[in-house]
Amino acid sequence: MRRIKILFVLIAILFAGCIHNSKQLNYPINVEPNIENSNAITVANLLFKMKANSYRRFYYKFAPGDTIVVNAWTIKGDNISNFNVEMLPFNNVYNTYAAKTILNEKIVNKRKAIYKFTISNTSLFSTKMYKLMIYRIPKFKAFENFNTTVYWDTVYDTTYVTQRESVLVDVDSTVEIVLSTRVQLPPMKKSYMEVNLPENTLFWVYWIGATGSEKTPVFSDKKINIPLRSYALGKIPGLKVIKKGAPIDYYFIRRYTDVEDFMNGFDFRYFKSGISVVSDYAKIDSPAHGKFYIALHNKKGNDKFVHVKIFALIGTPHYEYDYITVPRVRVRYIPHM
């Protein structure tokens, strides 16, 4: 029992500490620094959040003789992790770490210059909110309306590097038989087959024919293969369409889920079809890789014997390798007066 009481006391102390710390982490948002000089001109009045492990940069231009007055504090968070002021290009004029507030920090500027103000949140987990106010007190009346906006020039740095590059010099074209099959399809039945296109397929051609008898001379391999190969090679403009036979429906389908819908009588998607055809053919440019499916449907009549042939034109590339010089461009943004 005594151990339990001690544990409760420790938890209460830790909880009280968390509440106390949370009050310390929040500063009033309406704090206004006391700028005694009536000639002070506001350059920046910023309120912003900063994610953990991040920083922001602000650039302002100042006139000769200006006194720069910096005020910064936390609205939410324990402190300003890091605050740095640098006169470009490389003159560090002010830096502070873990400051709760920066009050009326003065920097005397002797010449026309651009200053970079960098503020950081180095916390690994916590988001902070900062308030940043920057003023300028002109020394010379001529610079009272001085424009503190910084403008940027875009600079392109070009270098040249040597790299190895492949150059296509030739392509060997060959015709490959992808599919040559015959399917017996009873009346009112459906069927499908999978087709896998070979690598480096440039395009493919197909021929589909249906007949009511198992052996039909006009549908023999000799009658179809030679013209279909010539068609694939571009030697003939087309094939003879056979009109006498046993018509069927066919569909070329990309996805297997659509094949399932076809088999189950639902709506489905396809990229090529033929309705009530005895024979049909075409050249297909896309898809030229992967697999697809051919779905067949014998809506009526007797058994049908469906012949399907697909020839692909395969392109085998040949490369030569050479070393060439290429430009690399790096873009930089440079502030100017």
For the domain spanning 167-318, the CATH number is 2.60.120.380
With DSSP H G I counted as helix, E B as strand and the rest as coil, what are the percentages for the chain, rounded to 5? 15, 55, 30
Phi and psi (nearest 5°) for 259? Answer: -60, -45
Do the domains spanning 24-149 and 167-318 agree at the CATH topology level?
Answer: yes
Q: What are 84-112's pLDDT values in tens digits? A: 999 998 899 999 999 989 999 999 999 99
User: What is the third-level CATH fold of 24-149?
Assistant: Jelly Rolls (2.60.120)
pLDDT in tens, 253-298: 999 999 999 999 999 999 999 999 999 999 999 999 999 999 999 9
pLDDT at 30: 52
The per-residue pLDDT for range 16-45, each reduced to its tens digit, is 333 333 333 444 445 566 777 788 999 999
Quick: pLDDT tens for 191-205. Answer: 999 999 999 999 999
On the CB side of 325, CA atoms within 13 Å amount to 3
Could you tell me if 173 and 285 are in contact, meaning their C-beta atoms sit under 8 angstroms apart?
Answer: no
Name the more confident of 23 and 334: 334
Q: Where are the domains of the chain?
A: 24-149, 167-318
Please state the pTM of the whole predicted model: 0.49
